Structure 1
Amino acid sequence: MSNAALSIQNYIRTAASRGRETERIGPFLATFSPHTTNPYLNYAVPDAGAEPTAADAAALAAAFERRGRQPRLEFLPGPAPAVEKALAANGYVVDLRVPLMDCPPGAVVDHPVPAGIELATPETDDEIVEMIRVRNGAFGNTEEVTVAEADRYREGRAAGVRTLLARDLATGAVAGAGLHDAIVDGITELAGFGVAERYRRRGIAVVLTAHLTRMAHEAGAATVFLTPGGDEAERVYARAGYRRQDEVVFMSRPA
């Protein structure tokens, strides 16, 4: 287990706790969004060296099910090598193994902003709601987005989350967006990337990635990481200077 992997695992646990309900269950910290059942906003993170028992696995599932959420985890296997096997023996399955990529200071590769697009920080309620809607839609999430989301966005911003959107200069429409989370102990994660379908394949995602990474470095982050959702996303992030360093495992317990 590398010190870098342990630091990122600790960061994931800290970031997941922000703005969510939490519950300590055996060697796990479970986090629950009070606002959505989106599985990517409701998950548990194991402690370093965790060796969960069958009772721990059952209690973890019960905690999620009480809240109407799917039992789910996100973790780096290195700091907790016994977790995957123990959970698999108790009804959990591996949904994904995704690369963990990082981009150290000085490695960012800049790209020109596409013609007809500008980058900006969302400010108004309408911009924030549209931005969230575009990001959600990119992942097939059709939950209604309300003005209350703008208030939560501003709470995150006050805590250090930085968001960047790409705007169509001709129409003012949000073409895409992404964010870097609050920096903790020199570490942050890039996440929440989404580009509206009609604006894809124009280089917007790689520009957002590069600009957000620079923003994070300039704000003091020594480690900036992300987890691509597929091969195409990995290629985009590689163009911005990211390289594979580890992996993150997503596990869940089917109903």
Structure 2
Amino acid sequence: MDLLRSGLFDRLERFYDAVPRDAARAEEHGGLVLFVRQGAGWPFYARPRLDANEAPSLADVAAVRERQRELGLPEAFEWVHETTPGLLAVARSAGLAVLEAPLMVLDPAALPDPGTLTDVPVRMLDAAAPGFAADVAARGAVAAVGFASAGTARGEAGPAQRDAALAGLDDAALDEERVRTADGRRLSALAGTPAEGALASGMAMRVGEVAEIAGVATLPAARRRGLGAAVTAALARQLLAAGTELVFLSAGSEDIARVYLRVGFRRVGTACIAEPAPVTP
């Protein structure tokens, strides 16, 4: 199938452009748009303008980076290589390090039952539950510890490090989580046991009939138990049950992509994530 003619990448571009817009203002800089978050929350990125007639230039990248520094934001850029192929060379010439992440789309027919992937229970977060705030905090703590030790290898960090990383959300951020969870724009999942607590977490962002699964993380001490795959499968199943037609994600590495292959995701392209290259002494 010709993915460009089928409209897949166009649907992905519209999703990427839509996700930040209800929580950020958009600033256009040539062929790029910078999303500046309004209020508390994780800062957004810059990406190619949806309606741009030309690919972003080196001058566009420089202007956005200057604006990001002025606002105290991370110098972060994201795009799909197949949609904007020329930006990869431009970003690297600007001194940015680019992660080329496998971009993967779910084949619903290949999606397994989460219970076949692990014996650890997986549950979805409920905005109306009394423990919702604690669950959101646990999701964030698991992600913080998991992403601090990237990859799929087992490690030492476990529940103690998760508990040390727990941080409460302010009222505005918690209200946003509750509203978006209640109306289906955001889904979250936790895998864990009563004795160990939350061991893996993940979330999904939904706009209409398209959704992205992101932030799937497992405590290093709990890896190699099928938890990341089970969390991903649980999120995907919930999305499909809600009528989502296109479910996708970006894998942080080829090793991580192999986990998602087990869940029914298939590679269709490359998602590029750029930030300043580390300064070597």
How would you bin the TM-score normalised by the shorter chain?
Answer: 0.7 to 0.9
User: Aligned in 2, Cα 1:118/1:163: closer, same or farther, shift over 3 Å?
Assistant: closer
Do the aligned residues in 2 keep the contact of 1:118 with 1:168 (CA within 8 Å)? Answer: no
Residue 28 of structure 1 deviates from its aligned partner by 1.4
| Distance in 2 (alpha carbons) for counterparts of 1:63 and 1:143 | 31
| Structure 1 residues not aligned, in runs of 5+ | none
Matched residue count? 249
Among 25, 45, 48, the residue aligned to 2:47:
45
- The aligned runs of 1:1-255 (5 Å cut-off) are 2=4, 3-33=7-37, 34-35=39-40, 41-48=43-50, 49-89=53-93, 91-112=94-115, 114-121=118-125, 123=129, 124=131, 125-140=133-148, 145-148=167-170, 149-159=173-183, 160-171=185-196, 173-184=197-208, 186-254=209-277
Q: Return the offset for 1:77.
A: 2.0
SS of the counterpart of 1:234?
helix
Higher mean alpha-carbon deviation, 216-225 vs 132-141, is at 132-141
Judge which range, 209-218 or 113-122, deviates more. Answer: 113-122
SS of equivalent to 1:145: coil
Query: What do you get for the CA RMSD once the two structures are aligned?
Result: 2.6
* 1:154-183 deviation digits (Å, cap 9, x = unpaired): 133145211111131335x11111112123
Say which is worse superposed, 204-213 or 13-22, in terms of deviation. 13-22
* 3-state SS, counterpart of residue 22 of structure 1: strand
Deviation at 1:118, TM superposition (A): 4.3
Question: Matched residues in 1 for 2:253 and 2:189: separation?
Answer: 22
Could you say if the C-alpha distance between residues 110 and 153 of structure 1 is closer, same or farther in structure 2, counting changes exceeding 3 Å? same
Amino acid at match of 2:169: V
1: CA distance, partners of 2:221 / 2:270: 31
| Large movers: runs of 4+ above 4 Å | 141-144
Does structure 2 retain, via aligned residues, the 8 Å contact 1:94–1:249?
Answer: no
Instruction: Structure 2 unaligned segments of length 5 or more: list them.
Output: 150-163
Aligned mates of 2:245, 2:119 — CA distance in 1: 31
Aligned equivalents of 1:244, 1:216: Cα separation in 2? 19
* Amino acid aligned to 2:121: I
